[in-house]
Amino acid sequence: MATRRLYYDDAFEKEFTARVVYCEVRPPDVNSGITGTVWGLILDRTAFYPSSGGQPNDLGKIGDANVLDVRDEGEEILHIVDRKPSDPDVNGCINWTRRFDHMQQHTGQHLLSAMFQERFGLPTVSFHLGAEISTIDLRGPEPTAEILEGAERAANQIVFEDRPVTVRYGTAEQLARLGVRKEVERSGILRAIEIESADLQPCGGTHVKSTGQIGMVLVRRCTKIRQDWRVEFVCGGRAAKNARSDFELLRETAEKLSCAPEEVTSAATRALAERDANFKTVRATLERLAVEAAALALRSTPSGPEELRIVSRILDGVAPEYLNLFATELVKSEKTIALLAAKEEGNLLFAQHPSAGNDMNALLKKVHERFGGKGGGTRDFARGKLSDAAQADGALALAKETVYAR
């Protein structure tokens, strides 16, 4: 027996009475997040909307049972409930906050899709109403920022005009003659939603009574999904919530930058420019420091066997970048080997002037084998990191010993 869909005639019916025509225990359905014992319920009539056409199902109560899911099973609507009703005559009550939110998003989608198509020739190929955000996929060239804003503005103009949203019935041919936005090839009598002088679209979903009830359409991001353009949008209560959280973000950011919300962009640009300038200054200072420190280290380190000069240092409180700069300066001198470690992090840097004739990569590998760590490099320049920074002393001693034992 076909379930009478009360929402087809009146999407504002929140409570209804009905008779149970079928009730059976259902197996748990982990995919739908249903783990306990549940019942499948079919009523002679229902105001509960099942998931379909991009709009999620309603929730609410049937008698004292909670409705967990509502499914469209062709002629019938199946309600998944958490207990068996004690009486075959039941009262149904849908969660109106959830439903009205869905109606705002869904009607807003009809309107927004119509604007994209009519004004910019971009047809909607799919719609998804999500828990936080809704999306439509547009086909065609990339919608520019002007197009996104233009469609939003045109949609909101029709919201302000508070035009009636009505249901029309007709065959596919009749609807086509009336200028339906998306033609369908189904037979029989179809249901279509008309927004006065703006849109006519076949749809079995639930909608508000007039465009004013959509409240507001707010277009968000647009991203490329395969061949189409996915436009995120929110309507009504969600638009207000998003505008509020956007402003909070702006306010917090302005507070961090110590400026007014209107000045966030210029303050951020300035902060980034300062950061870049500081980075350059620090880099230049480190380079100068490395040159001085290398000259000092070379003067104070006498050459050993085979005229090799080994500068071995554990450096305290330096960035790994400084090890590079320091080593590079040291090995500009012939027959010089730099064996460096950063005390806190355990970074290692072994480098040589090619005339020193060793293999820094092999040396580093040997140290890592003994003390643990990883890294690598070339014959003249190798970088690594000890697993335990406290082993830096031992690591450098082993490296030095290995060079001399060659």
The residues binding Zn ion (CB under 5 A) are 203, 205
Question: Residue 382 to residues 99, 311, 362: CA-CA distances in angstroms?
Answer: 64, 15, 9
- Quick one: 214 or 325, whose CB is closer to Zn ion? 214
Beta pairing partners, 217? 235
Q: Find where tokens 């950063």 sit.
A: 342
- Quick one: 51 or 66, whose CB is closer to Zn ion? 51
| Minimum CB–partner distance for residue 143 and Zn ion (Å) | 22
| Minimum CB–partner distance for residue 52 and Zn ion (Å) | 10
| Minimum CB–partner distance for residue 106 and Zn ion (Å) | 5
| Minimum CB–partner distance for residue 174 and Zn ion (Å) | 18
Q: Which two tokens stand for residue 401?
A: 């010993």
- Quick one: 104 or 361, whose CB is closer to Zn ion? 104
Pick from 378, 368, 355: which is nearest to 398 by CA? 368
Cα separation, 322 vs 122, in Å, equals 55
> Can you state the angle between helices 392-404 and 360-371, rounded to 10 degrees?
130
| Minimum CB–partner distance for residue 201 and Zn ion (Å) | 7
Question: Residue 191 to residues 4, 188, 206, 280, 362: CA-CA distances in angstroms?
Answer: 15, 10, 11, 67, 77
| Minimum CB–partner distance for residue 276 and Zn ion (Å) | 51
Query: What would you measure as the largest C-alpha separation in the chain, in angstroms?
Result: 103
- Quick one: 115 or 203, whose CB is closer to Zn ion? 203
Mention every residue, 6+ apart, whose C-beta is less than 8 A from residue 314.
340, 341, 342, 343, 392, 393, 396
- Quick one: 112 or 294, whose CB is closer to Zn ion? 112
Cα separation, 254 vs 235, in Å, equals 27
- Quick one: 94 or 165, whose CB is closer to Zn ion? 165
Can you list the alpha helix ranges (DSSP code H) found in 301-404?
Answer: 320-330, 360-371, 392-404
| Minimum CB–partner distance for residue 210 and Zn ion (Å) | 15
- Quick one: 52 or 328, whose CB is closer to Zn ion? 52
- Quick one: 167 or 298, whose CB is closer to Zn ion? 167
Side chain identity at 309, as an amino acid letter? R
Q: Is the distance from CB of 382 to CB of 351 less than 8 angstroms?
A: yes
Q: CB atoms < 10 A from the CB of 382, how many?
A: 22
Cα separation, 330 vs 308, in Å, equals 13
Q: Could you give phi then psi for residue 129, rounded to 5 degrees? A: -100, 110
Cα separation, 103 vs 107, in Å, equals 6
Pick from 62, 49, 74: which is nearest to 23 by CA? 62
Cα separation, 113 vs 110, in Å, equals 5
| Minimum CB–partner distance for residue 54 and Zn ion (Å) | 8
| Minimum CB–partner distance for residue 207 and Zn ion (Å) | 6
| Minimum CB–partner distance for residue 206 and Zn ion (Å) | 8
- Quick one: 141 or 164, whose CB is closer to Zn ion? 164
Q: Find where tokens 């004690």 sit.
A: 86
| Residue 369 three-state SS | helix
- Quick one: 203 or 235, whose CB is closer to Zn ion? 203
Pick from 342, 336, 338: which is nearest to 356 by CA? 336
